[in-house]
Structure 1
Amino acid sequence: MSLYILILFTTAVVINGQLNCSTYNPCGRNGYCFDIDNGEWSCECKFWWSGSTCKDLTNSGVQVIVLGCLLGLLVILFYGLQIFHKIRLKKKQPKEVKEKAIVYDTTLIDLAFKNARRSARLSSCIVGVLTMILAAIGLISKWSLIQPIHNEIVNKYETNQSLYYVENSFCDKTDYDYFNVVTFPISCFLILLFIITTKRTSLFRDKLWGYGAPPMPVDFISHIDRTFAAVIFAICADELLNIIQQVLDGNSKGGDGVIVVYLLRLLQVLVMGFRYYPFLAAVYMNTIFSLSCATLYAWFDFSMTIVNQGMCQVDFYPTYDDYLDNSSDIDMMFSYYGTGPNLVVIQLCTDIPRYLCLAYINIKIPMLLFKRLYQRFNRRNLSPEQRMLLQLTREQKAFFHTIRPDSVEMLYVQNLFRSADHRPRSHTLWGRLIPKKIYEWRDDFRFSARIVCVYSSMLLLLYFVIIQACIRVLPYLQPLEDTIQTAVDALSVVFIPDPQDNGQNNGDPTSSLNFPIPKLVRPYLFAVFITLIVIVLQLLVLLANMRRNLLQLFRGEDCEIPRRQRSRYVSYASGNIHFAGYFIGYLIWGFILIAAFSVVICVAIDAFITFGNVRFVEKILLKVIPSVLFVLFKQYLNKILAQYVFLQHRGEVLALNNRRILMIFIFFNFFLDAFLGFISSIVRLIKSVIGGIIYMCRLDYSPLGRKLETMDGGFSSYCGFLHTECTHRHPVMLVFVSLLYTQTKIKELAMYDRNYIDNFKGHVFELKLQSSSRYVRKWKLAVFLIRNPTIVFFRKSFLSQLNMEDLHALNDLDNDDKKNLQRRLSIYTRRMSAARASISSETNIHTIEKQRF
């Protein structure tokens, strides 16, 4: 019955002369229907379909299907044989006796409670609770300041008035072109006080009683105050994002030139550094005076930040100057998010990490001050070790901590001659929960403060970028759809001309559009989150690779990082300086490229899901699919022949088999691969572009290749950073130097207080007063030099006889330099000949004396 009605309808339409593509599509799903001027229609077939109604396959289509089937059979055959071979080998292997599992004294639950009790100290719990309370108070205070502004703007929006608010007079007095004129002088004054109270260590130590040196904010190559420094740098990431947005906007006031505007942005960065410099310097100095000043400054800065962001620098609501510059988008925000409290909630949610970091600073510094005061007034009740540590600087305390049995460096030395299987498992809960195949948590390694600071700033920067990309861009996507559609149509028509199309789509979005654009909200959000996942995974992989490369440099391996060369020391130092800045810059640019690439892919997929076909993509696939199928067919054919015909023992041994057949196959394959090489070159170019986009934020990866990787600025800075870290943070060197320095320092303290020796008896700092016999030490030295003869050339008596060039040749690690190798060999030969001559002369003298007697 339905078929009969359809026939009657089609007949009626033909009689009336109204048969067109909008009422009837004779092409089906295999073609596109187009109306012609004389009232007729025609079909444009997809892929390899042909015929008036696109129901027949062409010869090319049949051949592509056959090639695809053959490729599928080859893939199934290749992997099926591999699986069969593995199962067969597994059955032939003798059954191994299972070793008894090592029973640990503590279960995972006991370990979790033990680590929780160890890590969750009373001071840490107090700092965490007070931080959350103070952050909540700050957010509530900001909400109370923003709410009147929000109500005023909403009232103006509903009454069709100009959308802006008048700033308080407080803002004009405190801010001048984004510069805080109140906190900046105070920070400069505190820095001056810290300079006056800091002792010099090397330059002009006899001038001004040794005082007057700029304090160190952070020791980036140590483990001191990593958490506090990471929080400071995380806050700086937010302000850095605001400065970058101002640079991208390019808005200048008063007709300022480009250079002046650029210098003003650089000045903003310097002012930002001066603002947080007193916090880091006070914590590093760790004195009562510095912590007291930093506490007062932190509370004042926190109050000023709440008032300034709640009244002067509100995120979405424009001021009068913004209204005059037409730089406000509040009307778009109201039309998309509504006039309710959504914008206020978005601002407060965005500020949660920022206020948590600010609250941590305002709680941590007073806690350090109270701890320092407690140590000062209870000095008599402290242990001798604690009293001795109070007299030392931060660097000296770090040296004393290095030789403790539980220190990272000492654990590395203990595990130095252990294999990976015999190395003890991590004592931390996370180290036991994470599988080793994903990441092996090691207790004998710890990242430096610089790495922690860089990663904290980048993660918070990603958070703010994602929030801004989702909140500010979404209202503009709907108006942009028509503009993007027009641009895509103009671009696609250039590559896919359509003479049959008269520009009328007759209500069908796919009848005249080569690339129909769907609703952009869904693919845009998917693209943003895909970009975030890719970036975070790349950062985690880079962190793991960074640890592996550092451990390789500690062992002297150069399989991934080029060996250190004396001629490139200046380049290493320069790269170490640029490391953090390059890392952040590569991250931002990589985020932009991956986001753009992801948006294109997600829009194409969404267009296929929504409309069912995309002509522009289909035309590309029409050209690409045969070439890809042929290349894959040839590759799998070569793999099967190589593994089961041309190699012995199914490819387990690199030894040729069937030599005559191989030579014949290579002869005919010699010219055939020329065509495949052309296709492979195009694939290589596409892979390099995609790989360069995805790996943009990876400094350990150079898209230029191993031969040209030193020309890559990012990879060079990465190598410079690693070589600098290895030189100054080598665990064996730190343990050795710490042992020498600790014994020397204890001897100095023992001269003033003999009680130190008795109190430290049995401790790690124990001083051995009974020196061994001179002859025993000489005998041990002789045995050691016999077992390690090359160390003879590095002794003080030997090195004192060499000039500076010979010393450079001995200390240089560049074994690829032929001149250096020849010079070292000549030094060894010369010294060995001199040693033999001295030995022979002594032997002749003894022989003559014996003959005399």
Structure 2
Amino acid sequence: MSTQGLTSDEPTILYDDWYINEPIGDKDDPAAHVILDCDPTIPYTLYHACMAPVSLAILLVLSLLVKRKKLYKGCWDGAPGLLSPARFLEEDGSKGVAVAVFGILFSSLCVLVLDNDPLPFISKSSTQNREYWKIMALLYYPAFYYPLIACATARHQTGYFLGCLLSWCHCVVHLWQKVDCPQSPKIYRYYSLLSYLPIILCLVVLSLWYPTQLVKSLRQKERTADEQVPGSDYYKDYLKNILVKRAPERSISQAQPSILSRLQAYLRSYIYTPQEGFRIPLKLVLSLAMALIAVYQVALLLLAAFIPNIQIVRAGMTKEVTALLVEFGIVPSENPERMPGDKELATLKHYIWSLEVCFVSSLVISCLLTFGMLMKSLVKHRTNLRRLYRGAVRDVFYRPRKLQPSQQALVCWMGFAAFQAAFACLGLLLQHVVFFICTVGFTFLVAIPLQSGSNVHLFKIVENMWPFWLTLVVAVIAQNLLARYCFLERGPPPKELTNRRALYMATFLLFPINVLVGVLAGAWRAAVSALYNTVHFCRLDVSLLSHGVEAFDPGYRTYCYYLKTEVSQSHPVMKAFCVLLLQLHGPQGPAGLQPRDVEEGVKLMPPKQPASKASRGKQHHARWGLAYTLLNNPSLRPYRKGVLSGTTANGMQAGPAKTP
């Protein structure tokens, strides 16, 4: 640096003094953007150490005060017991709470899979013991969040009040922690915040639902017998819907529907619309919600793991790396003998940007397809359940099945929602890999060569093989024309073969060309089969194997057993039958009967009581409805003959048959 113009009185500026007042580190230095570990004001260890005993105390209070004294006085002779997490086989109207709690649990499990400390009480665990702590966490988190859903199933003011306190504590602590530490160094600075978003949303839902139910319970002090039986209104509405008189269907015109109407019908089959008199069971709602959360978590992980890193790679590209890629012919250059310039560097960055676009596009397509398949499966679930409710077993299964619970059916029923979430994760990963490879191939083999005019190797191969492709096309067209005009008789159907000698000659002469056509057809078959199985992998209601070996498909087998258990145990007509039995002699039901008798299905025959003449007509009408539901209930048919053969009309066992 020149020192002209400086007097002797002025201080000498040294090189080391230039940046003495500048901030340390370059703004483009990656080290300046490193996110350090953040310790929230309320640590996770303290949060779990305080909330775990509180949750256990709430569960004990509910068991002692609610279950023993209010709900089930005869259960275990009045001894307390754990409350049920949810009535999975009943329509009790609290599906939102179950979905929220299951969403919190599943999202917590998704977060701990990538966490270095799976258990909050054990920090800085070694790599050897980390897998053991993850197994312990799989048992700890369900027990930790159990009171959140048990407070709702209590159906008591105490339960709603304790649920308010518990949900508010969870929600406030999670919000405080994320506001205190919005960034984390794990994978991406905002990955922890975004991965906890489903947990926070579900906690907000619970924090609003419990106060609402508490206010309703305080206002509504007396409840009728219909309201005490979970889902009694739905069962009656379902029965009324199937007994209503249907208008005769109009004759369908023979004209074929237009392409637009067929397209609308096809798109409508992927949109679930509620139908009058039917509700989706709780297990199906849970499976759909967990699958959507799984898709969100997997898509977020893929984006956070790939996009920031590929952007760092694109920003760090230099001319030296470009020169190396030019030597291998990956990046085209006009003068490969000398050092590449800015044009080659811009081309390389454009290639990396194209990879980023392909990754995001394939992920968006995979998410949309997975969501569409889940909606389509929900429509199929409703169709299958309605068919099984009316006893059309052969319309759902390809071989006759008995709608009875079994050991395998119960195991599959318990794991159905978990299987759906797992299959949705794997299906999204498979779809993303396949679509990413396809989009990258199309971009770098077709789109970029057409745009830049370089690296047109694929077009050169296709151009050199044009006689081969022309021969195949001409052979296929010739065979179709010969089959239409030479080998079939002209006239009204049925048509017969003609010119058989020419048919035999054409078959022999075109055999070598048909072999090549068969190779292309086989490649197309493999591609279509792989694409179909990849797209439908997340659907459990569709078997990816043929009918003979569909039992080897674990997803479809689980779905079939789930349907058997669901239909045999929660048939709406059967539940309506039990509700009508409870209400035969008045709105309060017969003496000594409780709503729990609806589940048991025993002790439902009321004792004989004198009835007035005015109420006999209503009794006869109700008994006729009971008889109808009993005769048309597919879930009771397997047991009807065996039970009736050994009983009398009043429910007492008949004596031994007298021999003549």
TM-score of the aligned structures, taking structure 1 as reference length:
0.55
1:601 and 1:733, CA in 2 relative to 1: closer, same or farther beyond 3 A?
same
2:646 match: 800
Per-residue Cα deviation, 1:352-405 (whole angstroms, up to 9, x for no partner): 6654432221121122112112222xx4xxxxxx44346x4xxx343x32453x
Asked if 1:245 is matched to 2:111, the reply is no
Match of 2:107, SS state, is helix
Structure 1 residue 472 displacement after superposition: 5.3
Match for residue 6 of structure 1? none
Between the aligned partners of 1:270 and 1:361, the Cα distance in structure 2 is 22
- Give the aligned residue type for 1:696: F
The CA deviation at 1:174 is 0.7
State the distance in 1 between where 2:393 and 2:465 align: 43
Corresponding residue number in structure 2 for 1:702: 543
Question: Taking structure 1 as reference, are residues 604 and 667 closer, same or farther at Cα in structure 2, changes over 3 Å only?
Answer: closer
Percentage of pairs with the same residue: 18
Alignment-derived partner of residue 270 in structure 1: 139
* Counterpart in the other structure of 2:362: 527
| 1:456 aligned residue (278, 286, 289) | 289
Contact 2:487 2:503 in 1 (8 A): no
Aligned amino acid, residue 365 of structure 2:
I
How far off is 1:228 after superposition? 2.2
Answering whether residue 596 of structure 2 is matched by residue 729 of structure 1, we say no
Match of 2:309 in 1: 476
The whole-number CA distance in structure 1 between the counterparts of 2:523 and 2:162 is: 64
Cα distance change of structure 1 residues 558 and 635 upon mapping to structure 2, 3 Å threshold: farther
CA contact (8 A) 2:182 2:193 kept: no
Helix, strand or coil: the match of 2:53? helix
Match of 1:256 among 113, 126, 129: 126
- Cα distance, 1:295 vs. partner? 1.7
- SS for the counterpart of 1:561 is coil
> Structure 2 CA distance, aligned partners of 1:187 and 1:684?
56
What is the match of residue 579 of structure 1?
A: 416
- Provide the residue aligned with 1:127 in structure 2: none
Structure-2 separation of matches of 1:205 and 1:648: 83
For 1:129-140, what aligned pairs fall within 5 Å after superposition? none
* Deviates further, 278-287 or 561-570: 561-570
Confirm or deny: 8 A CA contact 1:291 1:366 kept in the other structure.
yes
Measured at CA, do residues 284 and 644 of structure 1 come closer, stay the same or move farther in structure 2, by a change above 3 Å?
farther
Equivalent residues in 2 for 1:446-845, closer than 5 Å: 446-471=279-304, 473-480=306-313, 519-554=354-389, 555-563=391-399, 565=401, 569-607=406-444, 608-609=447-448, 610-614=451-455, 617-618=458-459, 656-658=496-498, 660=500, 664=504, 667-668=507-508, 673-743=514-584, 748-749=589-590, 768=617, 795=641, 799-800=645-646
Q: Structure 2 vs 1, CA of residues 696 and 441 (structure 1 numbering), >3 Å: closer, same or farther?
A: same
Farther-moved stretch of structure 1 (569-578 vs 296-305): 569-578
Unaligned runs of 5+ in 1: 1-152, 319-326, 331-342, 380-385, 423-433, 786-790, 802-837, 842-853
Shift of 1:577: 2.3
| Of 621-630 and 462-471, the range deviating more from structure 2 | 621-630
For 1:60-90, what per-residue CA distance to the aligned partner results, in whole angstroms no more than 9, with x for missing partners?
A: xxxxxxxxxxxxxxxxxxxxxxxxxxxxxxx
What's the TM-score once normalised by structure 2's chain length?
Answer: 0.68
Among candidates 43, 46, 64, match of residue 174 of structure 1: 46
Q: Deviations over 1:802-846 (max 9, x none)?
A: xxxxxxxxxxxxxxxxxxxxxxxxxxxxxxxxxxxx9xx9xxxxx
1:477 Cα deviation (Å)? 0.8
Structure 2 counterpart of 1:256, one-letter code = S
* Residue identity in the other structure for 2:218: L
What residue in structure 2 maps to residue 184 of structure 1?
52
| Alpha-carbon offset, residue 635 of structure 1 | 5.8
Q: Tell me the CA shift for residue 606 of structure 1.
A: 3.6
Measure, in 2, the Cα distance between the counterparts of 1:624 and 1:738. Answer: 75
- State the distance in 2 between where 1:728 and 1:476 align: 52
Measured after TM superposition, the shift of residue 601 of structure 1 is 2.8
Query: 1:242: Cα distance to partner?
Result: 0.9
Whole-angstrom CA distance in 1 between matches of 2:426 and 2:200? 27
Matches within 5 A, 1:150-165: 164=36
Letter in 2 for 1:475: P
Establish whether residue 309 from structure 1 lines up as the match of residue 178 from structure 2: yes
Paired residues of 1:576 and 1:720 also in contact (CA < 8 A): yes
Query: Does 1:296 pair with 2:128?
Result: no
Residue by residue, what CA displacement relative to the aligned partner does 1:20-49 show, whole Å, maximum 9, x if unpaired?
Answer: xxxxxxxxxxxxxxxxxxxxxxxxxxxxxx
How far is the alpha carbon of 1:448 from its aligned partner? 0.9
CA RMSD of aligned residues (A): 5.3
Partners of 1:793 and 1:361 lie apart in 2 by 42
SS in 1 for 2:546: coil
1-structure distance, mates of 2:131, 2:291: 23
Distance 1:526 1:761 in 2: 74
Kindly indicate whether residue 85 of structure 2 is the aligned counterpart of residue 217 of structure 1: yes
SS at match of 2:86: coil
Alignment CA distance shift 1:558-1:629 (3 Å): farther
Is the alpha carbon distance of 1:679 and 1:523 closer, same or farther for their aligned partners in structure 2, counting shifts above 3 Å?
closer
3-state SS of the aligned residue for 1:707? helix
Q: Which residue of 211, 216, 223 corresponds with 1:366?
A: 211
Task: State how far apart, in whole Å, the 2-side matches of 1:197 and 1:648 are.
Answer: 86
Question: Aligned to 1:401, which of 218, 233, 238?
Answer: 233
The aligned length equals 560
Would the aligned equivalents of 2:42 and 2:173 in 1 still touch at CA under 8 Å?
Answer: no
Alpha-carbon spacing, 1:564–1:257, altered in 2? closer, same or farther (3 Å): farther
Cα 1:506–1:563 change in 2 (3 A) is same
The separation in 2 between residues aligned to 1:629 and 1:419, in whole angstroms, is 56
Deviation at 1:746, TM superposition (A): 5.3
Distance 2:475 2:582 in 1: 66
* Conserved 8 A contact 2:582-2:590: no
Write the deviation string for residues 122-178 of structure 1: whole angstroms up to 9, x where unpaired. xxxxxxxxxxxxxxxxxxxxxxxxxxxxxxx999x9996985356256427515xxx
After superposition, the C-alpha distances for 1:620-676 in whole angstroms (9 at most, x for unaligned) are 7679988777667666666666667767899x9676443847963785367764444
8 Å contact kept, 1:221–1:725: yes
Displacement, 1:525?
Answer: 2.3
CA deviations over 1:221-255 (Å, ceiling 9, x no partner): 333211222222333343232123338999x9756
CA distance in 2, matches of 1:173, 1:246: 14
Structure 1 residues 737-775: Cα deviation after superposition (integer angstroms, max 9, x where no partner): 3333432785854799xxxx9xx999xxx8757769x9x
Counterparts of 2:585 and 2:467, CA distance in 1? 76
CA distance 1:550–1:200, shift in 2 (3 Å): farther
Task: Say which SS state the counterpart of residue 680 (structure 1) adopts.
Answer: helix
Q: Contact 1:230/1:452 (CA < 8 Å) preserved in 2? A: yes
Rounded to whole Å, the distance in 1 between the matches of 2:157 and 2:552 is 49
Paired residue type of 1:799: S
Partners of 1:597 and 1:249 lie apart in 2 by: 32
**Kept after mapping to 2: 8 A contact 1:645/1:658:** yes
> Secondary structure of the equivalent of 2:433?
helix
Residue 619 and residue 710 in structure 1: after superposition, are their counterparts in 2 closer, same or farther (change >3 A)? Answer: farther
1:286 shift after superposition = 0.5
- Flag the 1:517–1:402 CA change in 2: closer, same or farther, 3 A: closer
Report the Cα offset of residue 261 of structure 1: 2.2
Would the aligned equivalents of 2:58 and 2:147 in 1 still touch at CA under 8 Å? yes
Q: Output the amino acid matched with 1:164.
A: L
